[in-house]
A and B are shown apart, each in its own frame.
Chain A
Amino acid sequence: MSAVRDSATPSKLTSRVILVVVAVVFAVPILSMVEFTLRAGIDGGHDLGHWAAILDPENSRKYRVLFQGIGNSVVLAAVTVLIVVVLLLPTMILVKLRFPKLQRVLEFVCIIPITVPAIVLVVGLAPVYSVVARLLGSAPWTLAFAYGITVLPYAYRAIAANLQSVDVGTLAEAARTLGAGWGTVLVRVLLPNLRRGVLTASVISVAVVLGEYTIASLLGRNTLQTSLVQVSKSDPFVAVAFALLALAFAFVLLFIIGRVGSIRRIRETP
């Protein structure tokens, strides 16, 4: 083909070997989970019995806590994404446009949640949540406030990467000189250009919320993860099956978005 392979890139063979070995090793636990869900009786056969049990309406009562947990997690994910888009995003844009000196501060605030692990945060969240419970009740969705904080580092980086490549300052000024009000600037000029960052941030937030266990467990709420633990005590097969489904869902979502992004980039390159 074209260029001589330069010394920085490994040979195709080396690359393939490394990737295949790692892929196989990482596939083993997943395959074990699949095999586990397919186990049929003590004699050691395999069938789809456990998967069928999920769909059996007879069992819906048994698994109610699981379905409730899933439902709660979905709502939580939605509210968390809402917090990211309605609270974090405008703040980031505002800081970029009007308070560039505060950018470091905002970055610092958004990176702190990495330093304060969930297990530590939860120690201080309990009293805060007792207040929240008095004001807004103790419905599961209120947990989203805490989740919004947990996803801050990831959402911030995803949006910041996009903000860096789009010159929001110039775009906003151009729109203003053409007569647009701030609302128009935000919704019709800036947001369409920040789609990629917002989408990435949202998807990461969904992944984090679906996988979160610590805060939900120690604050006593029912989410996907806590319900999985609970169900696993009585029916580990279904618990594992749902874990696989959650994984597959997140993976497919990320894969599709990744492909769409790649295809658009391939088309855009001259």
Chain B
Amino acid sequence: MTTSATRRSEAGSAHAGPAVSLPPTDASDASAEPAAARPRRRPRWALLGLTPFALYALLFLAVPTFLALATGFFDGDGAFTLDNLTALTEPAVLGAFASSFWVSAVTAVAGAVVGALVCYALLAVRPDGLIRTFVDAASSVLAQFGGVMLAFAFIATIGIQGLVTVFLKDRLGLDLFADGVWLYQVPGLLLPYLYFQVPLMVITFMPAMEGLKRTWSEANATLGGTRFTYWIRIAMPILAPSFLGSLLLLFANAFSSYATAAALISQGAQIVPLQIRGALISETVLGRENLAGSLAIGMIVVMVVMMTAYSALQARTERWQR
């Protein structure tokens, strides 16, 4: 959801804090009494208040995650084994990881560039105006655009009987599928993925764009710089961490995406999430149950790396745009 005010703090960055920094009050309080003698005031009652949520997160987040990862280390009979992990090195699985990386990387980069352009264009639009509200609402909806509906949309557009396919064939004589119907294979994921990548980029990156302080462009002007120097020397370097961070987020988003692929590719396991589907649905995969667990481990490793890098970049952005 991207109303202007929440957007400003949405990505955790770029909120206009007070210009004067006051000394932290903690310092003076802490010096007042020695640490050992500080009494703990009524902690028990309040701690109880945290238990419902803690229990909930434990049951439905921690346990399933742990189970998902743990099953990767056990075989069907319950014995500890590393066979599932070595299965990750098989050509089929490696191929799926490669495809996943390729699709994620391409759509992340393309989505980031187009999304950034849209954010740039939105700078010229009134933040409280109709156009902006429209774009915000549309981005929020499309970013969540469920894989199923997305698949329908693209089948209707560039499927065999799709509007654009027919148009190109009848009016311009171009046969989109002359070399085979690629919509239902990995390359066919690119366009649908972009359909939610670009809105996600707009939602994630806009706060950074809006965080570009006016004084910077004015200072650039008074110091003799041009629009070109402003963008090349000031705005782009400042936006770089945020841009990269959003790009990583887009990558993670595409990598973990399942629904669209499931809807378009009904058979086969060309990318990792589909591999997991295959492992879960069929009773045995290559004679090894619990392959889903090791695939899950593989996915989580990738995601953890991505998200760590993302947090680091976010911290840098926050520091600069305070």
Contacts and interface: CB of A to CB of B under 8 A. Distances in A.
Contacts of B53: 87-88, 91
Contacts of B63: 124, 128
B195 interface: yes
B64 interface: yes
Interface of A: 6-12, 14-16, 18-19, 22, 26, 28-33, 35-36, 83, 87-88, 90-91, 94-95, 98-99, 102, 109, 111-128, 145-146, 148-149, 152, 154, 157-158, 160-162, 164-165, 196-197, 200-201, 203-204, 207-208, 210-214, 217-218, 225, 228-229, 232, 236, 239-240, 243, 246-247, 250-251, 254-255, 257-259, 261-263, 265-266
B52 A91 contact: yes
Contacts of A119: 256, 258, 273, 276-277, 299
Interface residues of B, number: 103
A255 B133 contact: yes
14 contacts: A7-B226, A19-B131, A26-B142, A33-B156, A99-B46, A115-B307, A121-B68, A124-B296, A214-B262, A218-B277, A228-B152, A254-B1, A258-B2, A258-B137
A255 B140 CA distance: 10
Interface residues of B, dominant DSSP: helix
A242 to B, nearest CB: 9
Contacts of A16: 121
Contact of A213 (B10, B146, B235): B146
B212 A8 contact: yes
Interface of B: 1-6, 8-10, 12, 15, 46, 49-50, 52-53, 56-57, 59-61, 63-69, 71, 114, 117-118, 120-125, 128-138, 140-142, 144-149, 152-154, 156-157, 162-164, 195, 198, 212, 214, 216-218, 220-221, 225-227, 230-231, 235, 252, 255-259, 262-263, 273, 276-277, 280-281, 292-293, 296, 299-300, 303-304, 306-307
B1 A200 contact: yes
A30 B57 CA distance: 38
Contacts of B136: 254, 258
A265 B170 CA distance: 50
Contacts of B145: 211, 247
A36 B4 CA distance: 35
Contact of B50 (A22, A91, A239): A91
